[in-house]
Amino acid sequence: MKKRLVLSTLVLFPVYVLLVYLYLFHWTSPDVPQAYKGSAADPLTFMTAQEMALSQEYSQYRNLLYFIGLPFEILIYIAVLVFGWSPIFKRFGERVSKLSFIKIPIYVLLLSTVVWLISFPLDYIGYRLSSQYGISTQNFSSWMRDELISFWVGFIIMGLLITVLYILMKKAQKRWWLYAWLLLIPFFTFMMYIQPVWIDPLYNEFTELKDPVLEEKILALAHQADIPADRVFEVNMSEKTNAMNAYVNGIGSNLRIVLWDTTLNQLDEGETLFIMAHEIGHYVMNHLYMNLGGVILSSLAGLYLTYRLLHVVIRKWGDEFGVKSVSDISSLPVLFLLLTVLSIISTPAESAISRQAERAADEYAIEMMPDREAAIGSFQQLTINGRSEVNPPALVKFFRYGHPTMMERIIMLEEYEKE
C-alpha cells in the first residue's frame, strides 16, 4: 500500500501539473468574445498593451501556483502517514504528558509545523510572484511576520478544536460528528463576532476614515440600509499591497465598515461610493448571515461524511499507517486528508453560490448609486491594479472566482443601462 501510494504520487502529480500548465498557457485564451470587442469589458479599451501583458502573465502563473497547491496538502498528509511520522508525533506528546488537553495540542503543533514547513516554498513563490508583478509592497520581514501570526492563530484555534473533537471521539464513538457540529455553531458565530476587533488588528492598523466628507456620505448609505454603524474604518494596506478592497464584516456591536487606503488612493469618490454600496448590499441581503448558515450546514455534511469515511480508511489501512483506531490522535492526518478532499470537491459549488451573491450585490449597488461610469470605472481600475484577467479560463472561474468575472460584471452594468 505505501509503495503504491508513493509510486502513484511520483507519476500522477507531474502529469497533473503538466496538464494544468498546458491548459493555462496553451489551451485557453484571455480574449473576450467577439460580441464584447470594443465594449467597456474589452481590456483594449481601458488597459495599455503592457498592462494587458502583465495581467495575463501574472494571472497564468498565479493560477498555476493555485492548482499546484490544490492537492499539495493532501500529498503532505499522505507523506506523514506513509513515512510513519504520525505515531512519532503521538509518542512525543505522550512523553510530555498523558493529559489529553496537553498531548493533543502538542501533536497538532508538530503536524502543523510539518505542513507549514513543507508548504512554505509554495507560499514564498506566491509572495515573490506578487512582489515581482507589483501587487505586494511588503518586505520579507513584514510578510514573514504575517505568516507567523497566521500560523500561531491557526494553531491556537485548531489545537482547541482538535482537542475537543478527539475527546468527543472517545466519549461518543457513533455520535461524535453530531456533537462536534453542535459545538461548532456557537464557535463559528463567536469567531464572526470577534474577528473584526481581535483578529484583523493583528495584521493591520485600523483607524477612523481620515476624509470626514467621504465618511459622512458612506454612513448616509449605511443608514439608508439600516446598518448600525457610526464610523467607517480605514486600514493601512498600502504598506503591504497595491490591490484594493472594502468590506462590511462582523455581527452585532462588532460590525465594521472598512476601506483599504489603497482603494481611497486609487479610486475617485463616485467609484469608492459604488464599491461601498456593493458591500452594503451584502448586509442588506443578509449575505453575512447566509454565509454563516452555509458554513454551518456544510460543516455538518463534512463531519458526517468524514465520520463515515474515516472508519473505512482506518479499518483497511490503519495498521499500515500505525493508527490503532479512529479516536487515536495519530488518525488526525487521515481526518485532515478527507476534509481537504471534500473541500476541493465542494469548491466549485461554493464558488457558484458566492458568484450569485456577488452579482446580487452588484445589482443592488447600481440601483443605490446609479452612476454607471463610476461603477464601470471602479471595476476597470480593480482589474488593472489587481493584475486580473477580464475573462479567465472556465476551470479557473469555477474553482477560484467567488465573484463574477470582470467581463460579466461590466457587461451587466452596460445591460442595466439599456434596461
Asked if 279 is an active-site residue, the reply is: yes
From the list 73, 261, 362, 389, the catalytic residue is: 362
Neighbours of 38 (CB within 10 A): 11
Phi, psi of 206 (to 5 degrees): -105, 130
Residues 349-356: contacts with CB under 8 Å, at least 24 apart: 350/294, 350/298, 350/402, 351/397, 351/398, 351/399, 351/400, 351/401, 351/402, 352/398, 353/294, 354/402, 354/403, 355/401, 355/402, 355/403, 355/404
d(CA 69, CA 10): 16
- H/E segment holding residue 341: helix 332-368
Q: Give the SS3 label for residue 71.
A: coil
Give the DSSP letter string of 326-337.
TTSGGGHHHHHH
CA 71 vs CA 51, 61, 75, 252, 352: distances in Å: 31, 17, 6, 37, 21
The amino acid that residue 196 corresponds to is P
Q: Of the residues 215, 261, 279, 328, which is catalytic?
A: 279
Stretch (H or E) spanning 128: helix 100-132
Alpha carbon distance 129, 127 (integer Å): 5
Give CA–CA dist 364/383, Å, rounded.
Answer: 21
Q: Quick count: other Cβ atoms within 10 Å of Cβ 159?
A: 18
| Alpha carbon distance 96, 242 (integer Å) | 46
Binding residue positions: 278, 282, 358
Q: Does residue 57 have an active-site annotation? A: no
Interatomic CA distance for residues 114 and 119, integer angstroms: 8
Burial of 57 from C-beta contacts in 10 A (0-12 / 13-18 / 19+): middle
The binding site for Zn(2+) comprises 278, 282, 358
Active site residues: 279, 362
